Structure 1
Amino acid sequence: MRLLTEENMEMAVRLGGEIRYMIELSVVPVMKVLTMCALGTLLAQRRIGVITPAATRLLSKLVFALFLPCLIFTELGESMTFHNMLEWWFIPVNVLLSYFIGCIAGVLVALICKPPPQFFRFTVVMTGIGNSGNLPLAIIGSLCHGQSHPFGKKCNQSGVAYVAFSQWIAVLVIYTFVYHMLEPPEEFYELVSDEGEDSVKGGSAALAALEADSMPSVMSAEWPDVKDATTEDSRTPLLARVFRYPSLTSQTSGVDGESPRASVRCLAEPRVMRKIRVVAEKTPIRYLMQPPIIASLLAIAVGVFPNTRAILFGDDAPLAWFTDSLTILGAACIPCVMLVLGGTLSVGPGSSELGLRTTIGITFTRLVLLPPIGIGVVLLAHKLGVIPPGDKMFMFVLLLQHTMPTAILSGAMTSMRGYGEREASALLFWQHTSSVVTIAAYIVIYLKIISHMSTAI
């Protein structure tokens, strides 16, 4: 009897230690992120006024143009080799799979929750496109900052490299697929056009002054200059008009009655190909080459050549002082991102015409239902042998890609398109506040899976 009691006590102590270990690994990193966001929210209050709207915009631009590119270049460049580039091929594929599965789930959410008709495609995109950028970097940075994680000495370097390697495909999808999915309905465009240019010009100065004094929306956290990218083309429902009216392609190809060079052809261009060409020309591919993407491409270009990498990375590298400077600047990225996110979330969700049922449906599907499907995808990939054996961080990043809330950059597309911005801002607010609980819970599950898979090898 006494022996049985001692065994029970040992089991209880062991179980308590395991629970404490899991809490330290899962809850503590999320609490670190939450604390930084809370400080940003606190400093953004009008009574304190440290993080003013102008300061938030400036901080966003610094992160976007300096801190994040430095972080990506230093961590990805040091980890990248030609062998690694071939071995990491499943990372962007996993992003595409998460988007594809998420969009299918988004269609089901739209059919079940029945949002207003003009928000059907909006619902699909906001359910399907997860955050593959700043938030995963913050989670990994907080997790690797502790001492008890199971990811080894190069935890942060490997994690940042894997996340950065996936960003190019995420940005490509957002600036092509998401951009066209979020085009405004024709009725909305015609309504705005019918209001007249005089009323728009009369209120533009007042609107600019109001925006300067108000906190920017959460979408500015990953693209601070989205307002500057807005054009007449981006606010036009191009797909619906091009594929509905045959004459539109000829109207959009010429300017002031002049015949475009492309119209002078030996053979007549098929009508469908002409329409596809017009859509491709209006797709904002030029925005793909943003500082974080340029930093990723440069890091890959440097890393795949051993001689070039030896010049920049390593203790004996001739330009080690340069990369050390970039490392110092990159270290400021995660704290600044969280302060900006906290400051933008301080204004609250705002008004929305999406409806409570649809908002709950998107949030629940994105944060609760899609991660288990992602677990199945990653476990299947592991069974097929496409995941490097023994690389725990690789598997963790793959799982994390299915767990994040909606991509902030997708919300920025609504601002660029001039439609659904309030709904996207409200949705991102509720998702990011709810994800504190869901991310912590799924990190526990992921660590258990990774631990089980590593012992099974």
Structure 2
Amino acid sequence: MALLDLFTASSVPVVKVLLVTALGSYLAVDRVNILGDDARKHLNNITFFVFNPALVYSNLASTLTFESMVELWFMPFNILFTFIIGSALGWVVIQFTRPPSHLHGLIIGCCAAGNLGNLLLIIIPAVCKERGSPFGDGDTCVKYGMAYASLSMATGAIYLWSYVYNIVRVSSSRSSREVEIIDSPTHTSSREGSPSSSGKSLTDPLLSSSVLIETEDHEKGLGQLQDRFESKPQVCLTDKIKQRLGSVFSKMNLKKILAPSTTGAFVGFVVGLVPQIRGLLIGDAAPFHVIQDTALLVGDGAIPAVTLVMGGNLLRGLKGSGIQKSVIFGVLAVRYVALPLVGIAVVKGALRLGLVHDNPLYEFVLLLQFALPPAMNIGTITQLFGAGEMECSVIMLWCYSLASVALTLWSTLFLWLVSS
């Protein structure tokens, strides 16, 4: 296939995303104000609770079977690799840039979590319908491509709300504790009572006799405490691990992990994998096929709604913030240079080892999962904890502005790799 055809097939979907995003940004400007703050909030809620679950359910239920699920077993692990490798690279960015502590979770989240749902739901059907597509019949390509995208969206939602959510939560809570310690009366009084601020002469005795007596009593108390500690049996390693895991799971917000999209995915799995239920809902001859048709109708509103809201939210990044330019460059380098290169090695290695079946469309989706911009829901997470909202908007603005170039180039390379 000619390189120009590949470039056209990969650039048209990105241009479509940019046009709808630009429309959302225009509708959100002050003089138009159709997609103002309140309108975006309500539209985002409708998309989150209605459109996305219907879209994920309808596509998974209609395309997934037990046989296809066995073939797709590698995809959740591939997405897990993107999170693990992205987190490691995000930690490297933090070590080099030294940002404020409250931004650590944001940086790791932006490097780890890609837009595994909405962009794939737009890009894959557009690529399938292009004349230069290497994936054969357009309708068949769209049918299976939407199943891959829906599974990617569901898996990404689980990882996002169970991992990135808690990373940002821990980072924001640590930052708030540091602020509380700095602003606490004890810390303030200790600073005010220091020799430099108390007005004491340098010739005054450093320690009075009462302080020395209190110090000796304190040392005796510490010795008794140490004796009691040494006399107690040591807690075994397995008990410590159980306590640590119990503490982690107790702090997880299960309501966020079981987001509506994740719930829709679970229902889609049940309908698709259980033949008896599938026979009742899927197909023109199914007695309750109207339920499936309604879910498809409602789910079709997810893609334009999410893209419009994304365009409106990106306006916040134009206002700027005090974020370091090195942080922005670091996130861009991870998402658009390092991760795609690692993704080629991971997918081609899995293909060589026989872990991935020879399916060009499936390989393309696996590769594309490494080259996507950060997930838009990271902005929602930062809003929940009030940590790095403006900085997140700036990062998103730059990432999605450069996505037109990066996604087009990487998609062209990926199409060439899977078609050659």
TM range (shorter): 0.7 to 0.9
Corresponding residue for residue 343 of structure 1: 312
Corresponding residue for residue 418 of structure 1: 386
Of residues 365-374 and 157-166 in structure 1, the stretch that sits farther from structure 2 once superposed is 157-166
Aligned letter for 1:356? Answer: K
Q: Is the partner of 1:348 in helix, strand or coil?
A: helix
Of residues 74-83 and 187-196 in structure 1, the stretch that sits farther from structure 2 once superposed is 187-196
Count of residue pairs the alignment pairs up: 364
Corresponding residue for residue 167 of structure 1: 153
Conserved 8 A contact 1:131-1:407: yes
Aligned letter for 1:361? Answer: G
Shift of 1:302: 0.7
1:310-349 aligned within 5 A = 310-349=279-318
Aligned letter for 1:140? Answer: I
Shift of 1:39: 1.1
2:89 aligned with 1:105: yes
Corresponding residue for residue 405 of structure 2: 437
Identify if the C-alpha distance between structure 1 residues 59 and 117 changes in structure 2 by more than 3 Å, giving closer, same or farther: closer
TM-score of the superposed pair, with normalisation by structure 1: 0.74
Of residues 408-417 and 53-62 in structure 1, the stretch that sits farther from structure 2 once superposed is 408-417
Unaligned runs of 5+ in 2: 185-235
Corresponding residue for residue 227 of structure 2: none
Identify if the C-alpha distance between structure 1 residues 272 and 383 changes in structure 2 by more than 3 Å, giving closer, same or farther: closer
Conserved 8 A contact 1:411-1:424: yes
Aligned letter for 1:58? Answer: H
How large is the RMSD of aligned CA atoms in angstroms? 2.5
Q: Is the partner of 2:2 in helix, strand or coil?
A: helix
TM-score of the superposed pair, with normalisation by structure 2: 0.80
C-alpha separation in 2, matches of 1:272 and 1:394? 38
1:268-417 aligned within 5 A = 270=239, 273-389=242-358, 391-417=359-385
Corresponding residue for residue 51 of structure 1: 35
Conserved 8 A contact 1:60-1:337: yes
Instruction: Provide the identity percentage.
Output: 30
Aligned letter for 1:424? Answer: C
Q: Is the partner of 2:317 in helix, strand or coil?
A: coil
Give the number of the structure whose alpha-carbon radius of gyration is greater.
2
Unaligned runs of 5+ in 1: 1-16, 197-266, 453-457
1:168-247 aligned within 5 A = 168-182=154-168, 183=170, 184=172, 186-189=174-177, 191=179
Corresponding residue for residue 155 of structure 1: 141
Aligned letter for 2:336? Answer: L
Identify if the C-alpha distance between structure 1 residues 273 and 141 changes in structure 2 by more than 3 Å, giving closer, same or farther: same
Aligned letter for 2:366? Answer: L
Conserved 8 A contact 2:158-2:262: no
Shift of 1:321: 2.5
Conserved 8 A contact 1:76-1:157: no
Conserved 8 A contact 1:175-1:283: no
2:397 aligned with 1:451: no
Deviation digits for residues 282-306 of structure 1, max 9, x if unmatched?
2112222222111111111011122
Q: Is the partner of 1:394 in helix, strand or coil?
A: helix
Corresponding residue for residue 133 of structure 1: 117
Shift of 1:412: 2.6
Conserved 8 A contact 1:33-1:142: no
C-alpha separation in 1, matches of 2:378 and 2:312? 19
Shift of 1:193: 8.9
Of residues 92-101 and 104-113 in structure 1, the stretch that sits farther from structure 2 once superposed is 104-113
Shift of 1:280: 2.0
